[in-house]
A and B are shown apart, each in its own frame.
Chain A
Amino acid sequence: MVNNQSNTNNPRLDYEYRRRKNAEGMRIQVATFTLMIFFTVISFAAVAAGFSKWFVIPVILLLAVIQVGFQLYYFMHMGEKGHEAPSMFMWSGIGVAFLTILAFVTIIWW
């Protein structure tokens, strides 16, 4: 993933390096953000343009999923070191969430 933390045990080592790395990380965050805005605009535009719903719905759902992935993995650093347990539990939660929603769109009638 991005801005992998240096593996040094001494946190005071190489202050300059860390500053640079943080700044680099921040640039990636901004790039991510730009993409997110871009996706959002596409979603809104697709709806505003009035395409068929069989086209629009999968597309905007896909974009939403990607965007949320960005939030989790970039803004919230879920893929980075030290996030093994968080990501396991988030994924489990997402699993339960998915099952719940799946059930509610299939076996609640109408």
Chain B
Amino acid sequence: MATMTMAKALNAALADAMLDDERVLVFGEDVGQLGGVFRITDGLQARFGDKRCFDTPLAEAGIVGFAVGLAMSGLRPVVEMQFDAFAYPAFEQIASHMAKLRNRTRGALSVPMVIRVPYAGGIGGVEHHCDSSEAYYAHTPGLKVVTPATVEDAYSLLREAIADPDPVVFLEPKKLYFASGEAELPARTAPFGRAVVRRPGTDATLVAYGPAVPVALEAAEAAREDGWDLEVVDVRTIVPFDDATVTASVRRTGRCVVITEAQGFAGVGAEIAARVQERCFHALHAPVLRVAGLDIPYPAPMLEHTHLPGVDRVLDTVARLQWDDRPDPRWLAQGSAA
């Protein structure tokens, strides 16, 4: 086992995929000589030449549409969006073409391509650089949506994404890029569609993915002081979703909190909460609660800590899981006012 950053593991995954498969092309804005603003493509152009790793004109719809065309010609494009909100110009290409081409042609044209998106916040970035955009993709049938929380998963899931026959939106939590972890490369953790229990526990399940996973783990650690033994499930692939692992955990613990960094309203956290209560209703001692970003545009750096779900907010929420089996006064009050 070696210690390395997620950035390094992602870089290695790209390099190994390029080595293994000549059809893999890596392109986007500043990914060539610069190696990307986060250096995820560092050295790839030098190593594989500027036909396999190259800069494009500055146009995201163009990048994604160009990749769709390349995939049609039999290549395997892996493109980078420089930041989350800068993928929005490509939304039509993503939703109407990349996601649908296989379906439109009854499988005749597949689009094996990957869009890498550095996403979410916690890095003090200015506006438009810290959006949590996973729900937009997860809500679009035809896309697979994946996000690693550990160094090993970063490598493994990115290799999986590049090898996958379907288009994948690969979300890289920016704040974890330079966090170090143990990994032995080439790591292969699990195929798509497998969540993992990152920490076993008996009293309640925290479900999280991407940047929220370390928060969940930290909260679980802190909760021991309060006498709670919390289980943490890392979703890993949002689409396809691993109901089996999540529901098995919640059935065991009887309580569940879903943690996402994204604004909560109509987010992936809502989907998880809805699924869990659908499937575990009789095992639940309390409603499935959510801890999410506030329903506001991502704030300026000096206020991001208030926006982001932190350990305290998670613990406050765990405390509301009706340990004494009384209804939550917070909702009761509101309901009776109606």
Do A and B pair up? The answer is no
